Structure 1
Amino acid sequence: MRFLPGLMLLLPLASPFAQAELIDDVNDRGELRIALEGDMPPFSFKQDGRLTGFDVELGELLAQELEVHPSILVTDSADLLPGVESGKYDVAINHIALTPELQDRFDFSEPYSHTQAQKIARKETPHPANTLATLQGQLLGVAQGSQFVEHQPLVTVAQKPPVTDEEVTLAIPFQKGNPAFQASLDKALQRIKADGRLEALSQKWLVGDATQP
């Protein structure tokens, strides 16, 4: 078979630019590297010396569906998302809210959990000393039941603060530009949703079905 000279020149130039998909790397390694913090019950924590919780079991189910070994890697908040961004971890399963800011940095799986969080609204009203004004400048933890959502800087707090419900959608971030991995991850999530395993996991750890909006 004869090759055109121009084609022979192009072939070697193309190979350095070929980039393996994340799903190929996962399959070649035979493991899914899952980052989480490991100290936030009921999502991830140690019980009788063993790491367990909603996020841990979800990661194990997804790895099982992808037919690879789940490699659970405990880290801290400073390393979690940068580690996914750099390729140190394949995914982070750490009750991460799907936000526009994070969508600029990562691609995400389809949602796997929804919750209604209550936020205390800020109100710019003066307060006398030795009242809730002493909380000024502190961090306010926002939670629904045992589900941690985020920290918000607190400027001032009304003595009878109004509250608003806000739906928080949880999904799994991974490096941008991996559509085949995204499709595989979404299909794995869809299978554990369809057969009831995700709902059972939610009932077990979150005391209710948080899989639906």
Structure 2
Amino acid sequence: MRFSPGLLLLLPLLSPLAHAELIDDVNDRGELRIALEANNPPYNFKEGDKPTGFEVELGELLAKEMDVRASFITTDDADMLPGVATGKYDVAINHIAKTAELEDQFDFSEAYHEKPELAIPFQKGNPAFKTSVDGALKRMKDDGRLKTLSQKWFEADAPTGASTPVPPPAAPAH
């Protein structure tokens, strides 16, 4: 069997494509499936039957920036991260902080909230999806939409120059 040296040049190009399944699935569906608990105001909660809160609006902006629609699935802590790991959900936006233990199991977006530092977990091995999510978050940070959203939910009642304390994130179930 003859092996062409030109094929070696293609291998680095094929490698990212082999890991782009999640972004391809999201684009094919035209939908970003977002898991959340909807029980932790102001991050996410329900008004009637409709999820709302900082992370719900963040998910809507994120999906719009990725040119897909947001689909929110209310679940519980026991199902959320396992559901992300198995592909039942694309992401979890549920006040989740990066920890070494979680970073062994998931890839994470850049932080969307700094105090406490919060990020979006998704299945490992999806660099194109990470690039897409991080790019969307960067555009939202750069144009001020993320800051405006944060001020709306966390600083609306605070006096000028002060910020409302944010409760620590809930510990993920294992």
- Displacement of 1:40 in angstroms is 1.1
| TM-score, normalisation: structure 2 | 0.78
1:66 and 1:188 in contact (8 A); partners too: yes
| Deviations 1:184-211, CA, capped at 9 Å, x for gaps | 000000011011110111111112499x
1:34 paired with 2:26, answer no
Identity of aligned residues (%): 64
* Structure 2 residue ranges without an equivalent (≥5): 5-17, 156-162, 166-174
1:101 paired with 2:49, answer no
Residue in 2 that maps onto 1:46: 46
CA distance in structure 2 between the partners assigned to 1:87 and 1:72 by the alignment: 14
CA distance in structure 2 between the partners assigned to 1:50 and 1:81 by the alignment: 22
- Displacement of 1:97 in angstroms is 0.6
Root-mean-square deviation (CA), in Å?
Answer: 2.0
Residue in 1 that maps onto 2:127: 179
2:32 and 2:68 in contact (8 A); partners too: yes
- Displacement of 1:49 in angstroms is 3.9
> 1:19-168 alignment to 2 at 5 Å?
21-115=21-115, 168=116
- Which consecutive aligned stretches of 4+ in structure 1 deviate over 6 angstroms post-superposition? 4-7
Residue in 1 that maps onto 2:139: 191
CA distance in structure 2 between the partners assigned to 1:47 and 1:78 by the alignment: 23
CA distance in structure 2 between the partners assigned to 1:96 and 1:19 by the alignment: 24
| TM-score, normalisation: structure 1 | 0.64
Structure with the higher strand share, 1 or 2 = 1
| Deviations 1:156-183, CA, capped at 9 Å, x for gaps | xxxxxxxxxxxx3110000000000000
Larger radius of gyration: 1
| Deviations 1:104-154, CA, capped at 9 Å, x for gaps | 000000111111xxxxxxxxxxxxxxxxxxxxxxxxxxxxxxxxxxxxxxx
CA distance in structure 1 between the partners assigned to 2:131 and 2:20 by the alignment: 15
